[in-house]
Structure 1
Amino acid sequence: MSQTAFITPPLIGRDGELARLTGVLERARGGAARAVLIAGDAGVGKTRLLDEVAGRAARAGTTVVTGHCVDLGDVGLPYLPFTEILGVLAADERYAAVLATHPAADRLLGAGADPARDPGGRLRLFEDVAGLLADLAAAAPLLLVLEDLHWADQSSRDLLRFLLSRGVLHRPGPGRRLAVLASYRADDLHRRHPLRPLLAELVRLPAVERLELRPLPDAEVARLVRALPERPLPEATVRGIVARAEGNAFYAEELVAAAGADADGVPSALADLLLIRVEQLSETAQQVLRTAAVAGRRVGHDLLREAAGLPEDELESALREAVGRQLLVPRDGDTYAFRHALTREAVYADLLPGERSRLHGAYARLLAARGHTAETAAERAHHYRESHDLPEALTASLEAADHAQRLGAPAEELRHLETALDLWSSVPSEARPGADGVDPVTLTLRASAAAAHAGDSHRAVSLTRAALAEVGQDADSALAARIRYTLAGNLLTVDRLQAAFRYSSEALALIPAEPPSRTWVWAAATHVMAARHLGADETALSIARRALGAAEELGMADAQADLLVSLANLEGGGRRSAQGQETLRQARELARSARHSPVEMRALFNQAISRFEAGDLDACLRLLTEALERARRAGLLSSPYPLGMRHLQLLAMYTLGRWDECLRVAADAEAGLPATGAFAAGPALYVAVARGDLGAVERAHALLDGPFNWMGTLIAGIVLTDAASLRGDPEAAVERMRATLTALGDDSGRRPDVTVRLAALCLAAVADRAAELRRGGDERELRRWTDTATELLEQARGSAGRDEEGRPQGPEGQAWLARAEAEWAAAVSGPDPAAWEKAVAAFGYGDNYEQARCRLRHARALMAAGRGAEAVECAREARRTAAALGAVPLLERADELIRAVPSPGEDRVAALTAREQDVLRLLARGRSNRQIGEELFITGKTASVHVSNILAKLGAASRTEAVAVAYRQGLIAPEPTGSG
């Protein structure tokens, strides 16, 4: 038995279906009897959904009774599910009185006459069962659950037909408080299945509806997989399970249970279950299925006929049988596919080794006989390899790699190249392809490029290192340099900056600068990028200008474009300046004319991010739309720069307040992101945090799993720092900020641009903590946090004043600095309305949410200054933005502040509760929280809460100010002094 049998899997991805069934139950409780027929493939989650619905119904006071149909062959036990239901009712003394008035119970339980031998007895039986259910529903709402109708006996089907068409659903009175939920396997209903005509009849009834449980989307299967095991699974394993489960929850659970034991095969228990249905076919149909399984998930009719060696009429008969049992499904183009990939895997695994090899060889020869077309190269390579014809497999693998490259499919190109590299040493030298450039080193370099384009940066690094290890001491210097600068470029994508600089330096040293050569130019271009990342800008600028001249002399438009992108970042005012923009435009046109898509992607990314940094978000999005479409057509969507552009697109949507669109685009993109590109959907986590989604923290932590990813670490740092700040935990916020900056830092000593944002987020929690300590009079602890606030502000100023290019940050960085300044002022001396007004204005470049957050902080500062009316108006403006965005936590805080400020003419004393008025009088006497608690017989912590509420309602920043406001507004009177 698999381990998944011992746990109840979470219900994931069925919110819509659950809401629909819950609605049916609610209407039934109100007297509108309904029935729902629930269809779905085996394992898709019908039982789990029914269990959830039944559990909720029972907790709401509904009587729930369940009957199961069982596969007992062609002749089953009559009325089996209803007998089970009546047996459960008979065993419960609460239903004894109702059962006593309905002899149907005794008859179905075997104590009465046989209805088949009693003329008219069958109708009386049906009427009595309907009456029993009506009486039960009259006593309390009733839910009748029938599972696995595809196995129901004829008598049970007839009784169900009566109940839904003429029975209890149509009776007047309280007996209509009934819902019937009946499930069946859609994949078991072959054309002649006896349930099919009944279903067609029932769904035409007005009180009956049908609900189809479709396979879960990949994102929901991934959530289920992550929720199942006690130990987290590697992300690659999760993705593999999601792909193989194809939306089936049970298959996913079984694959999770087998993860680590036989991750590549079908778990034995699941394989046995799948093969049971295959073994019910005729021998010929089984032979056809076995032959089809060797072809793959899909096979053409003609190819299958030739491989199976069957006459057309026998093949068609076998196919009709397999399609009727829903093991195969017809597809376009006269092809057939297995209904589920795991069925194909199970059939394939059940083949004998010799049978498997023979059939693969047959398919390879049949495909080859049709001509060595590029479209069949991948199939031929697979079949030749599995039939152990390795020379032909090597040749076909290289053909398949070339075809994938032409189609812009780098992941497939990588797979075929790695297959060729695996085969190389097993194929005699005389049988290897003799084309120029076909050797292990050049193939490995090509594979590393394919891996980089597919977004698997770490694999690209590993392959380039392998190529370097293959090169001997006497290797051609140009090849040795090429390997090194390729390795340097790949190392840059995984943030190994020092190593990248070292290898690009070695590449330059291997090739003389004069006379100029293509190899030297590309080595120089790579070294420029590595030097710039380490802060060696002067070195980078000098080499870039020299290399640009050499590229122009050699007519290397692609290298010219790459060097111009670097120079746009290094020269003058950088990429945000007019000069930088023009340089990037030239680079983009050169790369496009040279048909060098990766360099064009780099130029487009820099153009887009320069617009973002300048605060022109609409222009940024327009550029990204065009750039991502070009990346898609080039097959480069998963390569580093397009991944960055996908992240930037979501970030711009988030910043502009287009949150629903941001979430939708992120959800669409997530399924196709490589493991190293998970950060691209990161801005969706910013939306989740702002909307109070607690799962955002868990998903942010997942970005930190696996090999280090710079962008993933940055996004997780923002999410986790903000989450800690929102829950009022400055210790955790500061700790997360420091850990993030340590991880993102490099040897140059420059602060990452994100420092100013993280510091501002931390300062919010620090300022709130300082305000609490100031009210409580804890001077020592207050001093510690004001010192922390000053340290954070210094980091923010250093980051915003000098970005990674050595220039002041743009509007976004300056806005975060303005917020940091306002938070610091609040921490060290109290809220400053002028500072917050400046912060609100700074975020006016387009960040609606952050502007609303600053507005609310501004409102608090206005309250503290006694400017209540202005505070309310400011809070209402923040509230409008929060409501439009669905930012519930911000909305709730705005409402709290608005409620705390009385409207003009409102009695201020009435705004304070009686207990708060008592606390205020003791505050005026100078009592501490502990003393207030002792005098009022409450805890010191409760007294502190009352003091905080008083300060908020009076708009005061300190206890002393609150007392002064209270005296000024006549809330308390000075106590008379005695004469002695």
Structure 2
Amino acid sequence: MPRFVGRDVPLARLTDTLDHPPAVVLVEGEAGIGKTRLVTEWLDAHPGRRTLLTACPPFRQPHTLGPIVDAVRRATGSVRSLRLSDLAGVLRPLFPEWAEHLPPAPEPLEDLTAARHRLFRAWLELLGALNVDTLIVEDAHWADEATLEFLLFLTARHPPAGPSLVVTYRPEDVPAGSLLPRLSSRQGSGPARAALTLEPLDVAGTAGLVSSMFGDGHISEAFAEFLHQHTEGVPLAVEESVRLLRHRGDVVRRGDGEWARRSLAELQVPAMIRDSVLERSQRLGPEARRILDAAAVLGEPVDEALLSTVAGLDGQDTADAFEEVISLRLLTEGDRHRLAFRHALTARAVYDALVPTRRRHLHLRAGRALESARPLPVARLARHFREANAVPEWIRYTEAAVDLAVEALDVTPAVAALNDLLTEAGLEAAVDLAERGRLGARLATLAIRREQIDQRHRTVIATLRGILDGGGIDVRHEAEIRYGLGRLLVRVRAADEGRAELERAADQLVHEPGARASIMAYLAWPLTSTWPARRHRMWLHRATMILPMVREQHHVIELVGMLAAARLFLGDEQGWAVAATLSTEGTTARERREIAGARSNIGAAAIVWGDYAEARRQLDLGREVSLTEEQGWPLMLILGMRVELDLISGAWPGLREKAGALAEADDPDGPINLDVARVLGALRALDGDLDGGEAILRRALDHATANDQFTASIALAAEVGRVRLARRDPAGAIEVTDGPMRRLEAKGVWVWGTEIGPVRAQALAAAGEPAELARLVAAFTDGLDGCPAPAPRAALAACQAFLSETSGEFALAAAGFERAVTAFGALPRPLDSLLAREGAGRCLIAAGDPGRGLAVLGEVFRDLTELGARADADRVAGRLRRDGVEVPRPWRGGRRGYGDQLSPREREVVRLVVAGHTNRQIAAALSRSPKTVSSQLNSAMRKLGVTSRTALAVAVVQSESGLTD
């Protein structure tokens, strides 16, 4: 083997990083650059490490977690002796041959995020039981999505746990939308990290590599420069080119012992590795060439028996043929005596050179040979029968691979495989319409389970449309396809077109009342469309009528929750009566998931109405179920609404830290938690940082607008409008609230006007636009006719007061603001109440009662200061000073310390520790990161002079340490 040259620095970095486990090392570089050799050199230097090594094969549709599964199978023949918890039962679909030695499979979780998290925890446990300290994944550009998600799971754990990770990949072959770039984008206090980029060798490195292939003989400078020029210093290209030159006899040794080319003018060294491989392979005998062809078709390391079968060889000639291909270094022997090409490029060169008819024949032989393997390699079988154009077998094994992927909660390869199947040229002639309709319906059903929005959605949309346009499929499958197509169109922001498909599906799905009612409830949902309220109400009525026909309890729970919330979001008081019928307990995981989702929706509606006690009750019930069932969704949604509710209702102590912990816990590359962003931006602006606050709010508003999240855009536009009013920029406030306000008016759902109404009214008043303000108040008044929701009615009172003030009716305006003060205070919304009180004081002064007006403003200043609304307090103080009133300057120091006493945040943590909760459970309960909880717990233990959780509990019980304050 050639000497390892030119890689001392990356090898040292790899070694140093892995010496601080658990570490993450990413090694990137083009094909043939030496990534595998770098890893091999490290392995050879660390024989004591317990390493799991795997490579991702270049399959068209990779098998879910296939590389990790194969590596574990190679590492151990059985899990009988491993100490595994019940959690390991989720691994059964991936290791059917070990089923009898694995715990029973747990009850399925409908929430894909929670189920995938549980699966990854089981994988981590299995790796721990195998004592794996380093996981090496090569060719990760070919990894399936589930494998990449697992690698992200390993790198994102806080505190770091599990094996170190080494990942090699070719950046030029990373597909669009791949999760792989997130591995390198992860930042923060995670494991030790290094990102290594292997560059081509320079001329000196090229000479050193070639020299090692000639017994360390001296290489002429011209020869080294020539090789470097034509191979660009890529080590594999250098090796292959030199081997070709040697076999041709085009390299000679001069009398002075220097190796050189025979002729500078006549020799043409191939620029592509393919030419080198093909020329060497042509020197093989016919049997050896058949083995090489079979290896190229199989495309992965295999044993001699399978290679012989696919090649159609037996007897002594076979042994000689194997020796021949190995001696020419076209195939190499790896672990468990399996043979493979040294590099993927070599295999591709041989594969591409095959005559198409021979290639199809070899794929068919490979498929037939693999049908006897156990466990059945369905993804590989689907690939081989596809390439062999054996349609029935291709369909059968594709569906089997889809089943496995779905069992492993990896919908992406399942969708891709079915889509490829349905778009294959010539498939229509081989598959009848009923089968095509069935496959299309399955594709539609699976596609809507994919959470990530990318080009695959548009590809599937085109496929489903093609099936529908072709006609001839039965009504049931057509309805299921239209349902999936409609949901996908809505996701890619073709909402009107998508809802049209859903309307047609709702009328066709007469055989499925549960699915039909779900579609109708979805169409009744008013939060994500441009439809007017009356159209939503029509579908709400139809869904309500069909609800008694639904038998499945999980569907009933889902529908009751959606219909109750939809009524409330439409301003219909009857929604509360519907909500009261919602089941409080579920007997299955799916029922409990639906209960959690329903509680979150009703809680959100309660916030809109202004019933904050009910909102907290519903959200707490949903959070409890989500925590019990490990539901990633809707837990983060619920926690986001809870901090938003704290902002609205004035529960500000510790709110910035709570919201910050939620933001920290969120996926940095995932969608923005708009509720959390609103809280963080608003608090920053309230504290006086108008630029910083607006930047956060504006980014969130742009995201909400781009993703058609209408209700969020209303609240965020209102917050940005507040900031611009604080800058005395009413025109800017009008501009930012204009779009959301127009949509609200067109939709006719004024129950959502609480946030945006007063801000826009104040902006119109400040800009001197009384006619537009009068129109706003009239529309708001008409829109709330018959709707007793207290929050929007309080907002309407404030808008009416601004109109009176603009009209010069200051006494009437002061009385109107006082009505708003009372209404906001009853909710409670203390900030809005104080701002209305400020309006009352301002109008009293304008009405000729300065003494009373200034007294009111003084009280407002005091209360705003106590609340923590620094920017608003400063504005009121400025008005008071201009009118000759002395106002004390508030303390602007840093956060007040607690000395050796526990802070309120520390007391919360200690209470839960005493109750027996773990740090992770405490973090979830308090909406903080585990790292924050650990820091607060350590601080509390230091203050109480204890060194263990047990001692902490004893100290608290004995002295209570102020916990009952």
Q: Could you say which structure has the larger radius of gyration?
A: 1
TM-score, reference length from structure 1: 0.49
TM-score, reference length from structure 2: 0.50
